[in-house]
Structure 1
Amino acid sequence: MNSQGVIGKRCGCLDTATGRRRGSSCPRLSEREHGSWYFHCSTRNLLGQAERIRRGGYPSQAAARRARDELLALSREEQAGRSWTVTRWLRYWLSTRTRIRPTTRMHYTRDIEQFLIPHIGQLILGELTSRQLTAAFAAIAATRNRAGQLRSACTLQHLHTTLRAALTGAVREGLIRDNPARRIELPARPRPQAQVWTEARVAEWQASGERPTIAVWTPTQLAAFLDYVRDDSLFPFWWLVALRGLRRGEAAGLRWTEVDLHTGQLSVVRQRTTAGYDVHEGPPKSQASRRTVALDQHTVRVLRQHRERQRQRRAARIDAGKVGHDSGYVFTGPDGLPIHPGYLTQRLRLLVGRAGLPPIRLHDLRHGAATLAHAAGADLKTVQDQLGHATIHLTADTYTSVLPDTQREAAEATARLVLDAAASGDEIRRQVSDLRAESPEQAKPSGVRATRGCQARWRLGRTASDARIRRVSRRLIGRDRRSL
């Protein structure tokens, strides 16, 4: 087969003896309206490798020839867009992503293999339209997850993010000219807000089992939990995450070399994350996540005691002939090796259940730390730096909630401001009334035409009275402002 390829005719008739299609051996191919024309030719793909392309369904030999000539006149990138399926491009694109995190690769792989390929994988990349994608996402939205629930808006948004990134890569490589995923309209993903476990919410959870997506303990509930886990070997971990808001991977990957107990601070320079069950250690989530976190004096004492117990435990194991690794991590297992991040999540769930407290996730402790810092008087910029957020909007919209006591204090302060202003207004009106009673205006004859001299003296007295009224009002208002 040469580069110009072959043009032929075939049909879909079935051989009664074999049950297979006759193809180009059908005796009726000489009939004008029977079968369709096709071509196949050899080209070079994006990697420079020889590749055979086969296309059919053309009504005439001339139409098949024109389609072949048009294809061969295109660049390699354009030919790939006309010949590659969406499945082939998605897998090729994922194989070229060398700078993404293992967890991101795992999510991309799940989205591609479980959702995108089954619904749009058979389509030609260069012929993909927004209408086809809209129909595919509608079909995905009608499926159910393992819990029997319809796919959430969050799931659809994640799939859209993956598909849009893949097609943007196709545009960048020159395979397609436009990204059809940009024109898809999907249900808005609701941004969950952290909700405090008030008495009413606890009662509702106990009665119905329903709980907020993001739940935050009150200071009393958090204190009860920390008191319950005081003897737990991971007590310093729970304390550090609950008060300083480290991510699970950041705390799991923390080393003693990054903790300065003399100056009371620690540095976040790495994290230990999981992709499936495999653990991957690497840089923090973002550039903003590389940060220095201040430590209070009590947290410093907790970490000092933890470090001493860790040394004693390792020495005891070595004396007993057991393995005691000096891994350098702050939080380790009995053998001295770092803890699997998944174990921390499971351990918290177990301890919360035993403590009889309303349930929260491990990441909810991070939300709670932001809420406590904000309630204690820290401004949002300080909370943003503490948590390592790239923008203050995420800190304000998602990671801080208002504790009931703080909200009540704000309500009382607002009402007190209005009531104090009303009391000051009553005092101003009373003193103004007294001054007016003493002013010459009260001595003005009623129904008698005053002389010009009397009129002048009355105006002079009224001007002096008004000046006194203004002085008293300014004095009272100034005192009222200073009291606030």
Structure 2
Amino acid sequence: MTEGINAMKSHGVTAKRCGCLHPETNRPLGKTCPKLTQPDHGSWYFHCSIRNLLGQVERIRRGGYTSEAAARRARDELLALSREEQAGKSWTVTRWLRYWLSTRKRIRPTTKMHYTRDIENFLIPHIGHLILGDLNPRQLNAAFAQIALTRNRAKQPHTACTLQHIHATLRAALTGAYREGLIEDNPAARMELPPRERPQPQPWTEARIAEWKATGERPVVAIWTTAQLANFLDYVRDDTLYPLWWLLAVLGLRRGEAAGLRWADVDLHEGQLSVVRQRTTAGYDVHEGPPKSKASRRELALDTHTMRVLRQHRQRQQERRTRRLGAGMVCHNSGYVFTSPDGLPLHPGYLTQRLRLLVNRAGLPPIRLHDLRHGAATLAHSAGVDIKTIQHQLGHSNIRLTADTYTSVLPPAARQAAEATASYLAAAGNPGAEIKRQIELTRDTDRQEAAEKATPRHEPDTNRVRACRQRKVKQRRTAAPRRTDRTAEPD
């Protein structure tokens, strides 16, 4: 029997194998199958040693070739590649994704958590078995079509937003592979995905509240009207976190920015608040660091009422600390604006839970904590603040995001705009009709005068001339516009 093995000391080994099983042990026969002498039975494999990206020696095995010559050519082509190209042709997507994630040292913990979730829950199960260097857009589009059919924790199909997030993770990972020279281009950049539609903030009108109570359905992004927000702030006036709810509603701070706010960042003399840090969560773990982006580092002006609210809050916080220390209880001087009774900073997740509880108790339609940020932008927009100022207030790097997503029009402002537009049109309609009537009268007078000029002259008839003059005077008086606004007359 021909073993079909060609040992090559420096270039690896080629061998013929098949998938037949031993009748007694039910284990693969591999290269010992007696049918391997048949030309159409089994396929050719090769295995050789290469050095990976870390300089470590590793064994590569590939198969499925129709002839020994084809296996040799594939082996020689692999050995002729650079170390990076060899990794692209030998590493699976799973191996690269995990290696790439392990090298991300300068990303935020929350970003790394999202990358890990996308890689382990979606990308590895669907494309992890593929060879990195063989990836193409068709494979990726098919994989994302399968992901779209799966269900999330709420037993609902994954949304276009989720697919966009997974695609962003994959694209970042493959960009790293392209930068390292493992692949020739980024196939994720040529994918076709359903567009992501940003939900627009919807005010809680009476009709939406009635529908929510009847069906339980609510807008994806819901904001309170000015009256509803005022009712909520009046309800939580005695809550220990009232200053926090006020800042979120007026300034539009992010949850992490409010949780990470320190007294050193608040100047109650000059009326300024500096956003220089945030406390975010990755799972339940809290991580404190700089704001989300460069534009998020900002100085915000404080109005007189907000400064008074913060002064009262600081005084109560100091009094509470004095009482606890006097009673022999532990109370830390952490320097944070919003703390628990022991003086330590609050967990950002607690703010979300606390708001949900207070909204239910107040009997108001539900909103998320982040919806207060939408509401702050809408409130400022309705008060006449320009979009550029609102962009700075929210800490956006793109004014289009502020204009398209974070601002809406509250019903009173929309109604006022509609009334103003209709009134303007109505006012423009009457003068237009009056001017048209005057033009017609002028044309009739001109035609009559032209006809009289064309009439042959006879001896003057005193009565006829007098009557003609009186008629012209009467026509001019009728055609002249009647002044109703004497204040418009010149001095």
| TM-score normalised to structure 1 length | 0.91
Shift in CA distance, 75/475, structure 1 to aligned 2, threshold 3 Å? farther
Does 2:17 match 1:21?
no
Task: List structure 1 runs of 4+ shifted beyond 3 angstroms.
Answer: 426-444, 472-476, 479-482
CA deviation after TM superposition for structure 1 residue 302, in Å: 0.3
Match of 1:162 in 2: 169
Among 369, 379, 391, the alignment partner of 1:384 is 391
| Counterpart residue type for residue 123 of structure 1 | L
Q: Structure 2: how far apart are the matches of 1:436 and 1:58?
A: 97
CA deviation after TM superposition for structure 1 residue 130, in Å: 1.2
Match of 1:186 in 2: 193
Q: Structure 2: how far apart are the matches of 1:274 and 1:412?
A: 46
Among 95, 99, 117, the alignment partner of 1:110 is 117
Match of 2:303 in 1: 296
1:17-45 alpha-carbon deviations (Å, 9 max, x no partner) = 21110112223323332222111111111
1:292-336 alpha-carbon deviations (Å, 9 max, x no partner) = 111111010000000000000011110011111110000000000
Match of 2:249 in 1: 242
Among 204, 207, 210, the alignment partner of 2:211 is 204
| Counterpart residue type for residue 320 of structure 2 | R
Shift in CA distance, 63/450, structure 1 to aligned 2, threshold 3 Å? farther
Shift in CA distance, 429/23, structure 1 to aligned 2, threshold 3 Å? closer
Which segment drifts farther, 425-434 or 317-326?
425-434
| TM-score normalised to structure 2 length | 0.89
Q: Structure 1: how far apart are the matches of 2:104 and 2:292?
A: 17
Shift in CA distance, 437/69, structure 1 to aligned 2, threshold 3 Å? closer
Q: Structure 1: how far apart are the matches of 2:249 and 2:391?
A: 16
Shift in CA distance, 26/407, structure 1 to aligned 2, threshold 3 Å? same
Which segment drifts farther, 143-152 or 302-311?
143-152
Match of 2:468 in 1: none
Among 365, 370, 381, the alignment partner of 1:358 is 365
Does 2:60 match 1:74?
no
- CA RMSD in angstroms comes to 2.6
Shift in CA distance, 258/447, structure 1 to aligned 2, threshold 3 Å? same
Match of 2:14 in 1: 7
Among 85, 90, 93, the alignment partner of 1:83 is 90
Shift in CA distance, 36/430, structure 1 to aligned 2, threshold 3 Å? closer
CA deviation after TM superposition for structure 1 residue 436, in Å: 6.8
* Preserved contact between residue 194 and residue 399 of structure 1 (Cα < 8 Å): yes
Match of 2:233 in 1: 226
1:419-459 alpha-carbon deviations (Å, 9 max, x no partner) = 222233344456656767877954741762689xxxxxxxx
Q: Structure 2: how far apart are the matches of 1:366 and 1:2?
A: 68
Among 146, 152, 158, the alignment partner of 1:151 is 158
Match of 1:332 in 2: 339
Q: Structure 2: how far apart are the matches of 1:165 and 1:83?
A: 20
Match of 2:270 in 1: 263
1:186-239 alpha-carbon deviations (Å, 9 max, x no partner) = 211121000000111111111111110111101110011011111111000000
Shift in CA distance, 140/474, structure 1 to aligned 2, threshold 3 Å? farther
Does 2:141 match 1:134?
yes
| Counterpart residue type for residue 395 of structure 1 | T
* Preserved contact between residue 424 and residue 480 of structure 1 (Cα < 8 Å): no
CA deviation after TM superposition for structure 1 residue 147, in Å: 1.6
| Counterpart residue type for residue 421 of structure 1 | A
| Counterpart residue type for residue 40 of structure 1 | H
Match of 2:411 in 1: 404
Does 2:131 match 1:124?
yes
- Counterpart of 1:29 in 2: which secondary structure? helix
| Counterpart residue type for residue 239 of structure 2 | D
| Gaps in structure 2 of 5+ consecutive residues | 1-7, 459-471
| Counterpart residue type for residue 131 of structure 1 | R
